[in-house]
A and B are shown apart, each in its own frame.
Chain A
Amino acid sequence: MTIDATALADSLRTLVQSPADDGTLSSSLKLVVEACVDLFDVDGAGILIADEQDVLSYAAASAGPGRLLERMESEAGEGPCTESFWQAKVITSRDVTTETVRWPRLAEAMVGQPVRAVLGTPIQLGGVTVGTLDVYRERVHDWDDSEVTALARYSEVIATTLAAALEAHTAGELAKQLQYALDYRVVIERAVGYLMASMGADAVTAFQALRSTARNRRTKIGTIAEHLLDTGSLPA
């Protein structure tokens, strides 16, 4: 992949000076994803931020079917972004519609949609993963190392935007999500480890058990994690 340094500088300048930026975090993120599409020659991009159930939810997306991809990922609880969020590393797929073993629900949902190759990269604040940046192409594509590296680097731009918004108190509702992720990450991870050992399960299964308990009880996942660590069991 070729990235023009001048184009990158122009895009970043636009992010700073754009009249479309009304100073809110959502408008800033919208500009960031649109710049991402221009810079990396992808067909769409989006940002997902973990909510208080630790489920990735929509924060921003470029125009097109990317929103559908994000919505399906959020609903199915699986896919390259979810995996990237959970494993804190870049996850790629050359064609999500053929990922019937890794992400069966997502693969089925995306058949018929103009979304094939997807790359998810974690967005980290202070070493804590708070969300993901996803990009997609409408055709099958093998992501190369330079693309992985460049997009991982770009996710830092987003992290900087989020951090600045938090500092400037312009993050609005998203601030609560971000703060929750930062505050509860450690206790959630510890609870996942606890469940892995007590259930004899891998991290994904343990995390799903924690999350489904929170969902069924309409409780925040951090509260369930604290209960588990305090009492040794999930709430009945």
Chain B
Amino acid sequence: MPVTPPHPGEPAQPADALHDEIAHLHHTGRSHRAVGMAVGLASVRFACTTAQARRLLVRVSHRTGTDVQTVAQVLVSTHDGTATAEDRRLLTILLDHLPPAGWPAGPWPRDDLER
């Protein structure tokens, strides 16, 4: 596909750069979402407050050298049943730093809830 300038008059950007930028933006969006969900998940799983759950994510992040967004995404995707092979590999590292209750893995049966 030919490269397109984002605004009139602006020089065109290399296709790879655009692709990278878009991938980054989407990753950012998903990361925001995953952190919120992971905090909710952890607060139930480990019977703690929201603040404690958030601190847990940060602590696991520091101890494993993994950014918080990635920690959150791995926890959410594992629970959600959408984990990739890389997610599962990372989870084995994270589990050493999570409370002993461990982390449940989906998929879960879908209820046909009333809409």
Contacts and interface: CB of A to CB of B under 8 A. Distances in A.
B5 interface: yes
B85 interface: no
A157 B1 CA distance: 19
A190 B45 CA distance: 13
B8 A193 contact: no
Most chain B CB within a 10 A radius of its CB, from A192, A202, A215: A202
B5 A8 contact: yes
Given A87-B30, A193-B76, A203-B37, A198 B113 contact: no
B75 to A, nearest CB: 9
Interface stretch (A43-51, A124-132, A169-177): A124-132
B6 A193 contact: no
B32 A127 contact: yes
Given A153-B18, A153-B22, A208 B5 contact: no
A103 interface: no
Contact of A146 (B1, B32, B41): B1
A205 B40 contact: no
B80 interface: yes
Contacts of B15: 149
B99 interface: no
The size class of the interface chain B forms with chain A is 35 or more
Interface residues of A, number: 55
Contacts of B5: 5, 8-9
B106 A190 contact: no
A109 interface: no
Interface in A6-46: 8-9, 12-13
A65 interface: no
Contacts of A3: 1-2, 4
B61 interface: no
A153 B81 CA distance: 29
B97 interface: no
B40 A194 contact: yes
Nearest to A121: B26
Interface string B19-56: 10010011011111101111111111100001000000
A152 B24 CA distance: 11
Contacts of B79: 196-197, 202
Contact of B108 (A1, A150, A187, A205): A205
A88 B26 contact: yes
Contact of B44 (A147, A188, A198, A205): A198
A166 interface: no
A9 B5 CA distance: 7
B106 A202 contact: yes
A129 B33 contact: yes
11 contacts: A3-B1, A5-B2, A5-B12, A90-B26, A128-B32, A189-B37, A193-B38, A202-B79, A203-B76, A211-B115, A212-B114
